Amino acid sequence: MEIKTITTQPFDDQRPGTSGLRKKVAQMQQPNYLENYVQSIFEILPELVGGALIVGGDGRFYNDIAIQTIVRMAAANGVKRLMVGQNGILSTPAASAVIRKFEAEGGLILSASHNPAGPDGDFGIKFNGHHGGPASETITEAIYKFSQSISSYKIVESHDIDLSTTGSQQLGEMEIIIFDPITDYADLMESIFDFDAIKAWITKGHSLRFDAMHAVTGPYATEILQKRLGAPADAIINGTPLSDFGGGHPDPNLVHAKVLVDELYSDGGPDFGAASDGDGDRNMILGNHFFVTPSDSLAIIAANAQLIPRYKSGINGIARSMPTSSAADRVAEKLGIEMHETPTGWKFFGNLLDAGRVTFCGEESFGTSSDHVREKDGIWAVLCWLNIIAARNESVAQIVESHWQEYGRTYYTRHDYEEIDLESAKGVMAHIESQFEALRGEARLGSKVKTADNFSYSDPVDGSQSHNQGLRIILENGSRVVFRLSGTGTVGATLRIYIEKYESRLEKLGEETQIALSELINFAEQISEIKQRTGRDAPSVIT
């Protein structure tokens, strides 16, 4: 086997975002583009030489071609054992689980998560470490820096390997194992939840609908919901993974999963509905005529954790991203456990999970998970809700409303302005921050501004610092408005506005969210001048 050294030049746009390197497919297809980034990973992580590496992705366009390139480069760079999901498929949470189970040195996950796919869509690649979670900022920055001075990469010449048949193959000194990407993950889920109780709930005639959005979770849902839990075949919609996700936008929210939402809000609709995204790490939970916000979902799962076998003896703590509502904070306070507020990005939960400081983590962007892996986990969140529903024998609406009566309700919404001009978005952020000094202590909306800052985080485990993580305006009554530029898009900028208000008065718990938050929404629009500065009359998506 001949190892070839190919001369190359750096690309100046390979700085990864919060979830790895994401670009349009056409950019990734440029000669040497993917190879440069992959070589940079091998150079920064010498433990991969002689070690084991997991590879897989969400099946989007270019997934199979990229895997063949990675296989050849892994062999050239001295990887001893390469484990690839059958047909190149591996959901992000399943990848984390497999890395941990087989004690691999890490994994390369090929996905752009909830972004559209196809020849004109997006593609992404990220490295997860030996603990199964996303690489730290220190590692990703080192990878980027190396990519800016790279002059060559190593690769071997070979025919394409067979990704369709499980078993062992050899490429030079490297063993390639094609493994079933579904079974290990399904077994893990069965060890966490009360499958008997969930199966009994389903067989009693309760109906459910899971929208896989033609993305990676279709086969996982088929194995778990249909084969192991007895749900009928029509319980899973859009269950066949397609390289372009059927032309849809695989983001499980009220806009992009409209078909599912309409069914759950129809007369005689299912009792329970859920959706997951492109790579399987996000989730949306619905009841009949009822939407559960991700912030509430985290709080309710934590408050009912004792009903799930794995967590029946209690949980250590909860962590949430800063933009996520404070609903979980009240649960942690009542349970007497730790509560942590981190920047956006699942990698910030890793140290807390590894140190045993927290058990549950959540982000308002439809991501929830626990210490069973080091990633968001959409199927896990769905099973949490099914387990809780089965144990309580109550509907989704009854469970949520009961929670509000006990803990109060945190009204919460997120307004996304997608694909706006980057300079305009930066101008909005600068304008907001310029007002902070004057805002502090000022009377607004029946309260006073307690905090106006750019959020910074000090990791309580290793002391690392993260700055400029989002602009916060917090009132003394607990109401918040948060502004943040997202790092997951590939075109222009996405400006997100997060708005929340706490309400404990029972007679006020049933208001429509946008109405309950209307004064704060108007305040956010006025202080940001977002309409004037971006030319947008309304958000692209409201959740």
Tokens of 44: 């920064």
Q: Is 40 designated active site?
A: no
Residue 462 gets the label, from left (phi > 0), alpha (psi -120 to 50) or beta, of: alpha
CA 312 to chain centre: 25
181 residue type, one letter:
P
- For 4, the 3-state DSSP assignment is strand
The pairs formed by 457-461 with CB atoms below 8 angstroms and a separation of 24 or more are 457/322, 457/341, 457/342, 457/343, 457/348, 459/348, 459/351, 460/340, 460/352, 460/357, 461/351, 461/352, 461/354, 461/355, 461/357
Rounded to an integer, what distance in angstroms lies between the CA atom of residue 26 and that of residue 491? 13
Rounded to an integer, what distance in angstroms lies between the CA atom of residue 485 and that of residue 112? 17
CA-angle at 276, arms to 275 and 277, nearest 5°? 130
C-alpha dihedral over 260, 264, 269, 275, to 10 degrees? 50
Antiparallel, parallel or unpaired: β 480-485 and 493-503: antiparallel
336 close to 318: Cβ distance less than 8 angstroms:
no
Antiparallel, parallel or unpaired: β 447-454 and 443-444: antiparallel
Tokens of 223: 């194995």
Rounded to an integer, what distance in angstroms lies between the CA atom of residue 493 and that of residue 425? 7
Extended strands (E) in 104-230:
106-110, 122-128, 152-156, 167-171, 174-179, 208-211
Rounded to an integer, what distance in angstroms lies between the CA atom of residue 170 and that of residue 176? 6
237 close to 212: Cβ distance less than 8 angstroms:
yes
List the one residue out of 423, 384, 194, 422 whose CA is nearest residue 304. 384
Q: Which of the residues 96, 111, 113, 321 is marked catalytic?
A: 113
CA-angle at 493, arms to 490 and 496, nearest 5°? 120
415 close to 523: Cβ distance less than 8 angstroms:
no
Q: Is 8 exposed, middle or buried (0-12, 13-18, 19+ CB in 10 A)?
A: middle
Rounded to an integer, what distance in angstroms lies between the CA atom of residue 171 and that of residue 38? 18
| Element of type H or E holding 474 | strand 471-475
- For 342, the 3-state DSSP assignment is strand
Which residues are part of the catalytic machinery? Answer: 113
